Amino acid sequence: MDDKNNGARAELAGTAAAYLGRLSAGIAALADRVRFTLTDGLGGSAEMAEIAAGIGWSMDAMRILGGGGFAADFARAEASLKKALEAALNEDSVFFADMLEYEVKPVVERWRDWIVS
Protein backbone atom coordinates (compact mmCIF):
# COMPACT_ATOMS: atom_id res chain seq x y z
CA MET A 1 0.00 0.00 0.00
CA ASP A 2 2.87 2.41 0.77
CA ASP A 3 4.32 1.89 -2.72
CA LYS A 4 0.94 2.77 -4.20
CA ASN A 5 0.70 5.91 -2.04
CA ASN A 6 4.27 6.90 -2.90
CA GLY A 7 3.54 6.40 -6.59
CA ALA A 8 0.38 8.50 -6.35
CA ARG A 9 2.24 11.24 -4.47
CA ALA A 10 5.03 11.23 -7.06
CA GLU A 11 2.48 11.46 -9.86
CA LEU A 12 0.69 14.33 -8.10
CA ALA A 13 4.01 16.11 -7.53
CA GLY A 14 4.92 15.81 -11.21
CA THR A 15 1.49 16.99 -12.32
CA ALA A 16 1.52 19.87 -9.83
CA ALA A 17 5.02 21.02 -10.82
CA ALA A 18 4.09 21.08 -14.50
CA TYR A 19 0.76 22.75 -13.78
CA LEU A 20 2.31 25.42 -11.58
CA GLY A 21 4.80 26.23 -14.33
CA ARG A 22 1.94 26.74 -16.80
CA LEU A 23 -0.04 28.71 -14.21
CA SER A 24 2.91 31.03 -13.60
CA ALA A 25 3.30 31.60 -17.34
CA GLY A 26 -0.44 32.25 -17.69
CA ILE A 27 -0.37 34.77 -14.86
CA ALA A 28 2.55 36.60 -16.47
CA ALA A 29 0.86 36.59 -19.89
CA LEU A 30 -2.40 37.98 -18.51
CA ALA A 31 -0.57 40.66 -16.50
CA ASP A 32 1.41 41.72 -19.58
CA ARG A 33 -1.62 41.70 -21.84
CA VAL A 34 -3.64 43.83 -19.44
CA ARG A 35 -0.74 46.17 -18.68
CA PHE A 36 0.37 46.74 -22.26
CA THR A 37 -2.93 46.60 -24.11
CA LEU A 38 -4.86 49.79 -23.61
CA THR A 39 -8.46 48.89 -24.35
CA ASP A 40 -11.84 49.73 -22.91
CA GLY A 41 -12.22 47.61 -19.80
CA LEU A 42 -9.78 45.04 -18.53
CA GLY A 43 -11.10 41.91 -20.14
CA GLY A 44 -9.43 38.75 -18.94
CA SER A 45 -12.33 37.68 -16.72
CA ALA A 46 -12.24 34.14 -18.09
CA GLU A 47 -8.49 33.94 -17.53
CA MET A 48 -8.87 35.37 -14.03
CA ALA A 49 -11.46 32.70 -13.22
CA GLU A 50 -9.07 30.02 -14.52
CA ILE A 51 -6.22 31.46 -12.44
CA ALA A 52 -8.38 31.49 -9.31
CA ALA A 53 -9.42 27.88 -9.95
CA GLY A 54 -5.80 26.96 -10.59
CA ILE A 55 -4.70 28.53 -7.32
CA GLY A 56 -7.39 26.54 -5.51
CA TRP A 57 -6.28 23.26 -7.12
CA SER A 58 -2.65 24.09 -6.39
CA MET A 59 -3.36 24.75 -2.71
CA ASP A 60 -5.14 21.40 -2.45
CA ALA A 61 -2.19 19.65 -4.12
CA MET A 62 0.27 21.42 -1.80
CA ARG A 63 -1.68 20.28 1.25
CA ILE A 64 -1.70 16.67 0.03
CA LEU A 65 2.03 16.82 -0.70
CA GLY A 66 2.78 18.07 2.82
CA GLY A 67 3.13 21.76 2.09
CA GLY A 68 1.27 22.74 5.24
CA GLY A 69 4.06 25.16 6.08
CA PHE A 70 2.75 27.33 3.25
CA ALA A 71 -0.36 28.48 5.13
CA ALA A 72 0.83 32.09 5.01
CA ASP A 73 1.32 31.75 1.24
CA PHE A 74 -2.20 30.35 0.89
CA ALA A 75 -3.63 33.34 2.75
CA ARG A 76 -1.47 35.76 0.75
CA ALA A 77 -2.55 34.24 -2.57
CA GLU A 78 -6.21 34.41 -1.61
CA ALA A 79 -5.90 38.03 -0.42
CA SER A 80 -3.98 39.03 -3.55
CA LEU A 81 -6.59 37.43 -5.80
CA LYS A 82 -9.32 39.36 -3.98
CA LYS A 83 -7.39 42.61 -4.46
CA ALA A 84 -6.85 41.80 -8.14
CA LEU A 85 -10.58 41.17 -8.54
CA GLU A 86 -11.36 44.50 -6.88
CA ALA A 87 -8.92 46.20 -9.25
CA ALA A 88 -10.61 44.51 -12.21
CA LEU A 89 -14.03 45.64 -11.05
CA ASN A 90 -12.66 49.19 -10.73
CA GLU A 91 -10.98 48.85 -14.16
CA ASP A 92 -7.59 49.64 -12.62
CA SER A 93 -5.45 47.72 -15.08
CA VAL A 94 -2.10 48.72 -13.58
CA PHE A 95 -2.99 47.56 -10.06
CA PHE A 96 -4.64 44.41 -11.44
CA ALA A 97 -1.53 43.47 -13.41
CA ASP A 98 0.78 44.37 -10.52
CA MET A 99 -1.16 42.17 -8.08
CA LEU A 100 -0.91 39.24 -10.45
CA GLU A 101 2.74 39.69 -11.36
CA TYR A 102 4.23 40.82 -8.04
CA GLU A 103 1.98 39.11 -5.48
CA VAL A 104 0.37 36.00 -6.98
CA LYS A 105 3.05 34.81 -9.44
CA PRO A 106 5.91 34.70 -6.87
CA VAL A 107 3.78 32.54 -4.57
CA VAL A 108 3.01 30.12 -7.39
CA GLU A 109 6.69 29.96 -8.30
CA ARG A 110 7.68 29.33 -4.66
CA TRP A 111 5.24 26.40 -4.53
CA ARG A 112 6.67 24.96 -7.75
CA ASP A 113 10.22 25.33 -6.46
CA TRP A 114 9.28 23.50 -3.26
CA ILE A 115 7.71 20.63 -5.20
CA VAL A 116 10.65 20.12 -7.55
CA SER A 117 13.29 20.38 -4.80
**From the CB of residue 92, how many other CB atoms can be counted at a distance below 10 Å?**
15
- In tens, the pLDDT along 10-54 reads 999 999 999 999 999 999 998 888 877 755 555 566 788 888 899
Query: Rounded distance, CA 63 to CA 106, Å?
Result: 18
Annotate the chain with three-state secondary structure.
CHHHHHHHHHHHHHHHHHHHHHHHHHHHHHHHHHHHCCCCCCCCHHHHHHHHHHHHHHHHHHHHCCCHHHHHHHHHHHHHHHHHHHHHHCCCHHHHHHHHHHHHHHHHHHHHHHHHC
pLDDT band at 107 (very low <50, low <70, confident <90, very high): very high
**From the CB of residue 111, how many other CB atoms can be counted at a distance below 10 Å?**
26
pTM score above 0.75: yes
Q: What pLDDT was estimated at residue 57?
A: 92
Domains in the chain: boundaries:
2-116
